[in-house]
Structure 1
């Protein structure tokens, strides 16, 4: 098994331990094109996880500041926060599984890196 294949798969598996930092470092430092391609893909797929998390935090902050005495308004904010958190959980789960799948695929692939 080549070092390039291991480094490329580690970029995907870094979702467990290094987040976006390892793929970014590999993307910027490693000279091999195939490894750079996988590092870039892993970096952006890890970055996708943070977008709904940031949106969920912003909606939760706005909902906490918008508390009123009107029960309907408060329930609408609560529902929007719950829906946003559910969408965030689904997106994070899909991206997590996708990175594991891509890491295994790169590691077990027959093509030369």
Structure 2
């Protein structure tokens, strides 16, 4: 098993221990194959962060305008949770796929 495969799969698995740091470092210093996977992993780690910021902004904006804020926030948190869980599963699948190829 090559070192590039291990580093590339660690970029995906880093969702559990270093979500932004490891993919960013491997993207900067890695070889071409590693850079490809590191960039994809970094984007998949950034998506939940951007979504939580958007959810907070939406909750603050909607909170001032209606009484249905609680329902909107619960729905938003549910959607955020499902998407985040899906992204986490995708990272694990991609990490395993990179190791197996």
Aligned equivalents of 1:37, 1:54: Cα separation in 2: 26
1:8 equivalent in alignment to 2:26: no
* TM-score, normalisation: structure 1: 0.82
Structure 2: gaps (5+ residues):
none
Aligned residues: 101
Two-structure CA RMSD over aligned residues (Å): 1.4
Aligned equivalents of 2:98, 2:80: Cα separation in 1: 27
Alignment of 1:12-91 (within 5 A): 12-30=12-30, 32-64=31-63, 66=64, 73-74=66-67, 76-91=68-83
- Identify the match of residue 93 of structure 2 among 77, 101, 105: 101
Tell me how far 1:63 sits from its aligned partner. Answer: 4.8
Determine which structure has the larger helix proportion and give its number. Answer: 2
Tell me how far 1:57 sits from its aligned partner. Answer: 1.7
Structure 1: gaps (5+ residues):
68-72
SS of the aligned residue for 1:44 comes to helix
